[in-house]
């Protein structure tokens, strides 16, 4: 072939020949498109033009490389001249030089490719010399071009070969840029070669083959450059690591920088300020210290203050209402929202430039070339400019909206938190902890979603107006039919949205109920397990979930129907529009139809968005109303108490004619007719029967209780110790210091006075040992002593103690009273509630309360003589002491002279000094002090589980296979595929069937045209309906399955799991993560497949028209993949960190709500608010950078797709006229307009799904918790009458709480005869409660067995065991509901039976006073009943159950002596023929037992009848008795 051996390529040669010799092409009469084209742009296809251009660029690259080389050499020489290399550097450099390297495949490939390309260019020069002539250009440009190519590839080859010497892990940026340019150059050359070969029907010559060969090698180098890595790895990388990262820990030590605030304008537009974070995240999994700070303007404290000022201002002007909260939110966001709105409007306008120009493009491609190719390139430039403006503005408004949402969330969370600390008691009872936490987690999220969607309010009318304008330009009056159809579909939204709003409200109410019940169950898990009620409460939670599921199912079905309407809407609108045009006789040309179709596709965005917008607004309105209602709730009145300066009065507390009530509207006051004056330094004791108002009187002084009448004056700072210990998560020292500075001397003195010295010595890390949630790993006594130490360290003026001594044993209680109240605090004013009569004589004033009134007051001796009611309390106590003394006396020789008694007292003092040796394993009872043997940090609650690296395929697979083994997934994909096929087919049909111009004859009749289009459109709509229904069904069924698995695992988990896992973590999973599965996960995962199918459809249409587009898609797809791989490690860890940082906010809030009274009493509201703000900032950091990472990726993907679009347009414009069908080319452009959205959507969906999949991963973590023993073992079921006698046989029992901890019970062996009363005594931490836990199998024995009536407890099911035994636990627990529900949750007993039980436990009269009787309300935690009354309810439960084995674990610690005596009598009567085990601090409750079991250091040291043990004066039991009676007399 004559033209086969060209200088550059035969294609170019042929063009040049045609250009020179004409062959009719340059003749005016010629219609050749090429001649017309060349007249306008002759250089474009000139070989000289391209060769010269490429040569110039090659020259620039060579110059850069040489300059870089020279600069490095000069700098190296200067350094050598200035200083000698330090020895250390030489040594380290030598080490790196000696390090072994591994050369990967990519490195070898890059060397081979460089050599092959160099060879190909040398061959081209040889071909140039062999061929006798030069076609179409002068000789020098060709020689220069090829010479520079050879030179550049020699330099490149040398650079690549030197990489193994420098051991470089990454290719230099210059080399990567060079390779990318060479790839683009090869693509252009090959495209022109093939195009001209095909157009002239010539064979491909050797030069073209060399070009193709070069392209293949350049493509390989392009992939290597996109990856960036050389493929060289250091084998002994440990040597080089310190050199690469000399200070790994520096970032944590230095203050965090804010990348965003330092960014330039260009960085802000392109999101390049995120690059340093991506660089870290790509190398290693991000840690929370790696995440930079947020901008100073986004700090929660500034935002909180700003929002609070706005709310205060609005409140002054308009009063406080739901509307004023809305007004405050608007004022807070308006400035930033306006900027976002401007970007959103710009984005909407730019998006319609494309559809408006399509008709012009189709006309141009059809032959209207009045201004030649210039017009085509101008059109291409206009298309591209609009897409770039759209990309930049879209990314900015979305980022701005997300950031604004983050700001509003920070402000609202701090407002809700601060409101929680100020709520009045009545308001607090209206909103449970679960509800308030829901406001903070779910409702605020929904409100911030509205901020994101709000921009669509102004975008929708603009998009609609522009759409009508474009349609009118193309279709004339037919546009109004399109508008009417659009408005009709939008109108469908109104009833659907109303319905969706109602459903959302129902869903939130159902979710609140479930969360409330879940919170309660988690808090009371121990009692549920002890009472074998866990299955019942599991069923209750499942029933609440079923209710929620029903509403969810209705909601997702409605969403599926909405999806069907709106996915079918473009087809519906286009059918109406085109049908109208046909009826009106408006001509339909390919250009007008394609422009209309592009407009309808653009209209999809507002139409699709409208249901989401209205749904989000519906959800947001419900949530905003709930939050606004909460923020309007009544707060504690500031004027309840009057603060008086200490210099103005001698009285610290004064109450004149005080009347108080917990319910402000209630006519009958809780506390009435109070007159009290407490002088500075007085000790005031408050006593009375259970429910007489003792704790309420302290609440009056604290200002917690609404005042009906009178005045309360308080002078000085207050410290408060509540009856139920409130312990914060954290270490012991932080709990005691409570925000005060650490004073070592003062601190040690207080620790000693509060009897904590020995406890701290035995803890793993002393006072830095971490306390579990709610002090779960501390005994009741230890929690109270920590509370007392906190109050003493506060160094307040007035101390209010609410019966803190009931939780400690006699010896410790005495020491606390002596060393704290009468020691360190001897000069302070103290009001203390107590049931221990022995603490009353020391008081300067005793108040006796009855039915909310002070019925007696005076000193101890005065009150005894009054003989009204006080002596009943003292009498009961005296009887108790008498029983102890009688037992002591009857068992000893009474002929003891006074001297001997004094000696024994001295001996007692000596023994007291050695008590510390007897005090055993401190705190491995009750909630088993897991912290004792913990790691050196003394931690119980570990950091939340956090997977690292990619979300495993197992997680995706588990989600997909959850329902019917994943059989429905292929059906969903098939439905979407058919939808896409029908959509493309309908558009293709219209483009093909419509004539290019109105003058051309149509290919088919209008009737057939319209019928086929309608049929295809209906088919696509039904595919969508099937797909959306299937996705909704599968998503909800999967969510339900995951929820049930998780719930069953959590409720069947052993107690050790709840001891070491904060409730906030569990609640986060059952609330937030479950919401993701319920409403989002299925759609997110589905969209990964749907967007891929859409993209394939677009590529198919474009490639069918301009096949080189398919070639360009290969590198673009590769770049997309590289971007995605680079993005995902950072984004995934940011999403995980963001999830993990949520839980502490909720946990801290839940703790603060529980201890709100203490926080207010200590005046610590500001400190706790700051802690909340700090936690919000910690959450905002990863969240902000996560949304920024998304925008970083989307911006790059959009720009890539814009590049593909520009390439496609340039190609279409450059093609000769008549080379392609202009209608089909227009269709390709119509699809290409959505390309950037689709390309970013597919990556965004994959990344977003991976982030959301974290919720599935977290739920799966809690679906793999090891379970307790089976509830029922069919092969070993005990007889129905078991236990009959109640004989307990314990053999060689050893118990430990974890494998790494020492044994708490050691080699325990004893037999407890049936139907006997056994008292279990011992110091705090001696193992008493652990034995009870072993009996109920709360903790499993390591060695040994426990048998009851010859049935081995380890072989029977847990429900068979726990359901047949009864227990009154140390901490009285009540559930929200009714009195009846609390006594008989399983509904097994009649009302008469329950009334009898209430009378026996002294509650009958109180319950009868309530109008609701047995249905009387019990609020959350039973807080509307006193602690003593709650204890009596627990007694009522066992009286109903009537088991033959009863366990009392400090059962009467919170009741007065008089009530205690009645309870003891009731127990003796009701359980006379049962086995009763009593763990007690009050010795008199066990003195009449048949046997006494004495524990010390986890061993039984004494086991005999009380009389025999008392005969031996050296026995431990004798010492305890002596101590108790001596203390009772001493005070």
Give the model confidence (pLDDT) of 626-680 as tens digits: 888 888 888 888 778 888 898 888 888 998 888 888 776 666 788 888 888 888 8
The pLDDT, as a whole number, for residue 1015 is 87
Q: How many helices (H) and strands (E) does the chain have?
A: 57, 26
The SS3 call for residue 801 is strand
Mean pLDDT for 1269-1285 is 86
User: What is the pLDDT confidence band of residue 474, given thresholds at 50, 70 and 90?
Assistant: confident
Q: d(Cα 644, Cα 972) in Å, to the nearest integer?
A: 73
Angle between helices 10-21 and 33-40 (to 10 degrees): 90
Mean pLDDT for 839-843 is 85
Query: Residue 256 above 80 pLDDT?
Result: no
Q: What is the pLDDT of residues 746-781, one digit of tens each?
A: 899 999 888 888 878 777 678 887 776 656 667 777
The pLDDT, as a whole number, for residue 1049 is 92
- Least Cα distance to 15 among 46, 49, 56, 36 occurs for 46
Mean pLDDT for 233-252 is 39
Report residue 882 as tokens.
Answer: 């008498």
The pLDDT, as a whole number, for residue 937 is 40
Q: What is the pLDDT of residues 1090-1122, one digit of tens each?
A: 888 888 887 777 777 656 666 677 777 778 778
The pLDDT, as a whole number, for residue 1177 is 92
The pLDDT, as a whole number, for residue 888 is 56
Mean pLDDT for 946-960 is 74
- Range among 135-149, 588-602, 852-866 with highest mean pLDDT value: 852-866
Q: d(Cα 446, Cα 620) in Å, to the nearest integer?
A: 5
Residue 86 φ/ψ, nearest 5 degrees: -60, 150
Q: d(Cα 845, Cα 678) in Å, to the nearest integer?
A: 9
The pLDDT, as a whole number, for residue 644 is 87
CB contact at 8 A, 1383 and 1394:
yes
CB contact at 8 A, 600 and 570:
yes
The pLDDT, as a whole number, for residue 1041 is 92
Burial pattern 160-176, b for ≥16 Cβ within 10 A else e, equals beebeeebebebeeebb
CB contact at 8 A, 1183 and 406:
yes
Q: How much of the chain exceeds pLDDT 90, in percent?
A: 6
Angle between helices 569-584 and 590-631 (to 10 degrees): 140
Q: d(Cα 33, Cα 365) in Å, to the nearest integer?
A: 12
The pLDDT, as a whole number, for residue 1043 is 92
- Lowest model confidence (mean pLDDT) among 229-233, 477-481, 658-662, 669-673: 229-233
The pLDDT, as a whole number, for residue 1188 is 92
- Range among 375-379, 612-616, 1283-1287 with highest mean pLDDT value: 1283-1287
Q: Which long-range contacts (CB under 8 A, 24 or more apart) does 1149-1153 make?
A: 1149/416, 1149/417, 1149/420, 1149/436, 1149/437, 1149/440, 1150/433, 1150/437, 1150/1063, 1150/1064, 1151/728, 1151/729, 1151/773, 1151/774, 1152/417, 1152/420, 1152/421, 1153/420, 1153/428, 1153/433, 1153/436
Distance from the first to the final alpha carbon of the chain: 123
Q: What is the pLDDT of residues 1350-1376, one digit of tens each?
A: 888 888 888 888 888 888 877 778 888
User: Which distant-in-sequence residues (6+ apart) come within 8 Å of 471 by Cβ?
Assistant: 478, 479, 482, 483, 577, 596, 599
The pLDDT, as a whole number, for residue 1046 is 92
pTM for the whole structure: 0.65
CB contact at 8 A, 1262 and 1132:
no
The helix (H) or strand (E) run that includes residue 1504 is strand 1499-1504
The pLDDT, as a whole number, for residue 201 is 57
Name the burial class of residue 251, with classes exposed (0-12), middle (13-18) and buried (19+) by CB atoms within 10 angstroms of its CB: middle
CA angle 1485, 1488, 1493 (to 5 degrees): 80
| Mean pLDDT of the chain, nearest integer | 78
Q: Given the structure tokens 């193309």, which residue do they identify? A: 474
User: What is the pLDDT confidence band of residue 1008, given thresholds at 50, 70 and 90?
Assistant: confident
- Least Cα distance to 1472 among 1331, 1314, 1346, 1312 occurs for 1314
Mean pLDDT for 315-321 is 82
Q: Given the structure tokens 């490719």, which residue do they identify? A: 113
Query: Residue 903 above 70 pLDDT?
Result: no
Query: Residue 334 above 50 pLDDT?
Result: yes
The pLDDT, as a whole number, for residue 543 is 92
CB contact at 8 A, 641 and 703:
yes
Q: What is the pLDDT of residues 713-755, one digit of tens each?
A: 999 889 999 888 888 888 888 889 888 898 888 899 999 888 8
The pLDDT, as a whole number, for residue 49 is 64
Mean pLDDT for 428-450 is 81
CB contact at 8 A, 671 and 660:
yes
The pLDDT, as a whole number, for residue 45 is 53
Radius of gyration of the chain (CA): 42
- Least Cα distance to 1162 among 421, 415, 431 occurs for 421
More confident position, 1527 or 260: 260
3-class SS string, 1384-1406 = CCCCCCCHHHHHHHHHHCCCHHH
- Least Cα distance to 436 among 1058, 1377, 1154 occurs for 1154
CB contact at 8 A, 1473 and 1446:
no
Query: Residue 1473 above 80 pLDDT?
Result: yes
The pLDDT, as a whole number, for residue 39 is 47
Q: d(Cα 669, Cα 635) in Å, to the nearest integer?
A: 19
Q: d(Cα 1506, Cα 1508) in Å, to the nearest integer?
A: 6
Report residue 332 as tokens.
Answer: 């807070």
**Torsion angle of the four alpha carbons 94, 96, 102, 107, in this order, in degrees rounded to the nearest 10:** -100
Q: Given the structure tokens 């770049």, which residue do they identify? A: 1119
User: What is the pLDDT confidence band of residue 926, given thresholds at 50, 70 and 90?
Assistant: very low
């Amino acid at each position: 072939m004559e033209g086969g051996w060209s200088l550059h390529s035969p294609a170019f040669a042929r063009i040049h020949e045609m250009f020179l010799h004409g062959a009719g092409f340059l003749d005016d009469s010629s219609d050749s498109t090429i001649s017309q084209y060349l007249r306008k742009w002759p250089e474009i296809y000139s070989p000289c033009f391209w060769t010269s251009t490429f040569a110039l660029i090659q020259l620039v690259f060579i110059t850069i490389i040489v300059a870089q080389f020279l600069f490095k050499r000069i700098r190296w020489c200067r350094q050598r001249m200035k200083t000698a290399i330090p020895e250390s550097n030489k040594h380290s450099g030598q080490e790196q030089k000696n390090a072994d390297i591994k050369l990967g495949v990519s490195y070898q490939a890059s060397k081979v490719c460089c050599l092959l390309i160099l060879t190909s260019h040398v061959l081209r020069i040889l071909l140039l010399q062999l061929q006798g002539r030069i076609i179409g250009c002068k000789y020098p440009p060709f020689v220069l071009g090829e010479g520079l190519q050879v030179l550049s590839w020699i330099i490149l080859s040398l650079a690549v070969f030197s990489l193994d010497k420098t051991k470089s892990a990454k290719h230099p940026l210059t080399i990567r840029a060079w390779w990318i340019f060479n790839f683009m150059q090869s693509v252009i050359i090959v495209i022109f070669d093939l195009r001209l070969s095909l157009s002239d029907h010539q064979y491909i010559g050797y030069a073209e083959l060399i070009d193709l060969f070069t392209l293949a090698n350049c493509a390989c180098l392009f992939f290597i450059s996109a990856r960036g890595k050389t493929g060289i790895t250091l084998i002994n990388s440990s040597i080089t690591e310190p050199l690469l990262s000399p200070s790994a820990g520096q970032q944590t030590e230095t203050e965090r920088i804010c990348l965003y605030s330092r960014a330039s304008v260009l960085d802000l537009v392109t999101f390049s300020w995120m690059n340093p974070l991506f660089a870290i995240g790509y190398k290693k999994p991000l840690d929370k210290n790696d995440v930079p700070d947020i901008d100073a303007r986004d700090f929660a404290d500034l935002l909180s203050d700003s929002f609070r000022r706005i709310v205060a201002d609005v409140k002054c002007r308009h009063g406080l209402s739901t509307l004023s909260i809305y007004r405050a939110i608007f004022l807070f966001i308006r400035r930033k929202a306006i900027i976002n709105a401007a970007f959103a409007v710009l984005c909407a306008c730019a998006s319609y430039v494309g559809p408006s120009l399509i008709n012009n493009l189709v006309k141009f491609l059809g032959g209207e070339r009045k201004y030649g190719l210039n017009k085509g390139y101008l059109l291409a430039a206009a298309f591209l400019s609009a897409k770039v403006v759209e990309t930049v503005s879209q990314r900015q408004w979305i980022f701005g909206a997300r950031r604004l949402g983050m700001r509003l969330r920070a402000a609202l969370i701090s407002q809700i938190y601060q409101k929680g600390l100020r709520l009045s008691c009545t308001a607090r009872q209206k909103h449970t902890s679960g509800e308030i936490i829901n406001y903070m987690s779910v409702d605020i999220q929904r409100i911030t979603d509205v901020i994101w969607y709000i921009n669509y309010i102004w975008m929708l009318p603009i998009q609609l107006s522009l759409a009508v304008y474009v349609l009118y330009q193309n279709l004339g009056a037919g546009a109004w039919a399109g508008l009417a159809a659009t408005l009709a579909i939008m109108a469908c939204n109104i009833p659907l949205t109303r319905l969706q709003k109602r459903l959302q409200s129902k869903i939130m109410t159902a979710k609140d109920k479930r969360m409330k019940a879940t919170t309660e169950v988690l808090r009371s898990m121990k009692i549920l397990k002890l009472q074998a009620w866990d299955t019942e409460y599991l069923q209750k939670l499942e029933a609440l979930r079923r209710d929620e599921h029903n509403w969810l199912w209705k909601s997702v079905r409605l969403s599926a129907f909405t999806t069907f309407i709106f996915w079918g809407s473009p087809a519906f609108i286009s059918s109406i529009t085109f049908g109208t045009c046909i009826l009106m006789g408006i001509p339909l040309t390919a250009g007008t139809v394609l422009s209309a179709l592009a407009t309808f596709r653009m209209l999809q965005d507002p139409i699709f968005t409208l249901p989401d917008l209205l749904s989000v607004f519906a959800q947001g309105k419900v949530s905003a109303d709930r939050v606004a209602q909460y923020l309007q709730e009544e707060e504690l009145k500031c004027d309840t108490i009057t603060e008086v300066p200490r210099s103005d009065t001698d009285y610290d507390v004064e109450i004149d004619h005080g009347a108080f009530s917990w319910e402000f509207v209630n006519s009958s006051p809780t506390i009435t007719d109070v007159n009290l004056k407490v002088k500075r330094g007085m000790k005031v004791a408050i006593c009375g029967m259970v429910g007489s108002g003792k704790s309420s009187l302290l609440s009056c002084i604290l200002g917690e209780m609404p005042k009906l009448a009178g005045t309360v004056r308080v002078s000085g700072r207050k410290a408060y110790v509540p009856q139920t210990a409130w312990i914060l998560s954290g270490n012991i020292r932080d709990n005691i210091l409570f925000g005060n500075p650490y004073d070592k001397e003062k601190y040690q003195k207080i620790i000693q006075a509060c009897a904590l010295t020995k406890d701290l010595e035995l803890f793993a890390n002393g006072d830095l040992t971490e306390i579990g949630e709610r002090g779960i790993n501390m005994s009741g006594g230890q929690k109270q002593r920590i509370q007392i130490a906190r109050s003493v360290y506060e160094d307040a003026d007035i101390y209010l103690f609410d019966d803190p001594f009931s939780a400690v044993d006699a010896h410790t209680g005495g020491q606390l009273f002596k060393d704290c109240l009468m020691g360190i605090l001897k000069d302070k004013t103290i009001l203390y509630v107590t049931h221990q009569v022995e603490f009353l004589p020391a008081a300067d004033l005793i108040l006796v309360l009855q039915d909310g009134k002070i019925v007696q007051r005076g000193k101890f001796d005065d009150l005894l003589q009054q003989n009204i009611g006080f002596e009943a309390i003292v009498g009961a106590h005296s009887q108790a002491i008498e029983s102890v003394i009688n037992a002591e006396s009857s068992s000893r020789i009474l002929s003891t002279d006074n001297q001997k008694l004094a000696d024994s007292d001295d001996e007692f003092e000596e023994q007291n000094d050695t008590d510390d040796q007897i005090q055993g394993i401190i705190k491995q009872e009750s909630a088993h002090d897991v912290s004792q043997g913990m790691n050196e940090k003394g931690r119980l609650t570990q950091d939340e589980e956090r997977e690292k690296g990619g979300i495993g395929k197992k997680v995706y697979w588990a989600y997909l296979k959850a329902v019917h083994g994943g059989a429905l997934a292929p059906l969903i994909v098939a439905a979407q595929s058919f939808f896409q096929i029908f959509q493309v087919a309908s558009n293709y049909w219209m483009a093909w069937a419509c004539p290019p111009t109105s003058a051309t004859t149509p290919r088919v009749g209008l009737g057939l045209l319209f019928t086929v289009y309608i049929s295809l459109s209906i088919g696509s709509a039904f595919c969508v309906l099937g797909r959306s229904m299937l996705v909704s069904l599968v998503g909800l069924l999967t969510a339900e399955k995951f929820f049930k698995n998780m719930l069953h695992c959590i409720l069947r988990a052993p107690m050790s799991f709840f001891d070491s896992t904060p409730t906030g973590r569990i609640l986060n999973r059952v609330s937030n993560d479950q919401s993701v599965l319920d409403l989002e996960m299925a759609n997110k995962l589905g969209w990964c497949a749907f967007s891929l199918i859409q993209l394939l459809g677009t590529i198919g249409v474009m490639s069918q028209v301009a096949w080189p587009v398919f070639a360009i898609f290969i590198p673009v797809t590769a770049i997309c993949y590289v971007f995605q791989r680079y993005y995902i490690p950072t984004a995934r860890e940011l999403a995980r960190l963001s999830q993990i940082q949520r839980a502490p906010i909720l946990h801290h809030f839940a703790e603060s709500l529980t201890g709100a009274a203490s926080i207010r009493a200590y005046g610590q509201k500001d400190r706790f608010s700051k802690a909340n703000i700090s936690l919000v900032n910690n959450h905002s950091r990863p969240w902000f950078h996560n949304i920024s990472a998304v925008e970083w990726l989307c911006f790059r993907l959009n720009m890539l797709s814009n590049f593909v679009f520009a390439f496609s347009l340039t190609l279409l414009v450059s093609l000769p006229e008549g080379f392609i069908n202009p209608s089909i080319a227009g269709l390709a452009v119509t699809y290409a307009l959505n390309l950037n959205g689709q390309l970013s959507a597919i990556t965004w969906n994959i990344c977003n799904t991976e982030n959301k999949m974290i919720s599935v991963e977290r739920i799966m973590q809690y679906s793999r918790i090891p379970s307790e023993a089976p509830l029922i073992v069919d092969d070993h079921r005990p007889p129905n009458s078991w236990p009959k006698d109640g004989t307990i046989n314990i053999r060689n029992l050893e118990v430990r709480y974890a494998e790494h901890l020492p044994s708490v019970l050691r080699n325990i062996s004893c037999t407890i005869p049936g139907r006997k009363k056994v008292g279990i005594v011992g110091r705090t931490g001696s193992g008493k409660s652990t034995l009870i836990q072993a009996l109920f199998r709360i903790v499993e024995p390591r060695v040994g067995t426990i048998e009851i009536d010859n049935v081995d407890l380890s072989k029977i099911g847990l429900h068979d065991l726990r359901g047949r035994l009864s227990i009154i636990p140390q901490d009285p627990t009540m559930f929200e509901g009714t009195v009846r529900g609390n006594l008989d949750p399983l509904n097994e007993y009649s009302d008469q039976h329950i009334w009898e039980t209430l009378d026996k436990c002294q509650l009958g009269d109180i319950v009868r006073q309530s109008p609701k009787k047995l249905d009387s309300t019990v609020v959350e935690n039973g807080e509307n009943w006193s602690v003593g009354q709650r204890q009596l309810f627990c007694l009522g439960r066992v009286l109903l159950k009537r088991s033959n084995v009863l366990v009392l674990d400090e059962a009467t610690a919170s009741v007065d002596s008089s009530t205690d005596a009645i309870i003891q009598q009731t127990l003796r009567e009701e359980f006379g023929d049962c086995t009763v085990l009593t763990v007690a601090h009050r010795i008199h409750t066990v003195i009449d037992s048949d046997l006494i079991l004495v524990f010390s250091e986890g061993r039984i040291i004494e086991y005999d009848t009380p009389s025999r043990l008392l005969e031996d004066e050296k026995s431990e039991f004798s010492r305890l008795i002596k101590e108790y009676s001596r203390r009772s007399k001493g005070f």
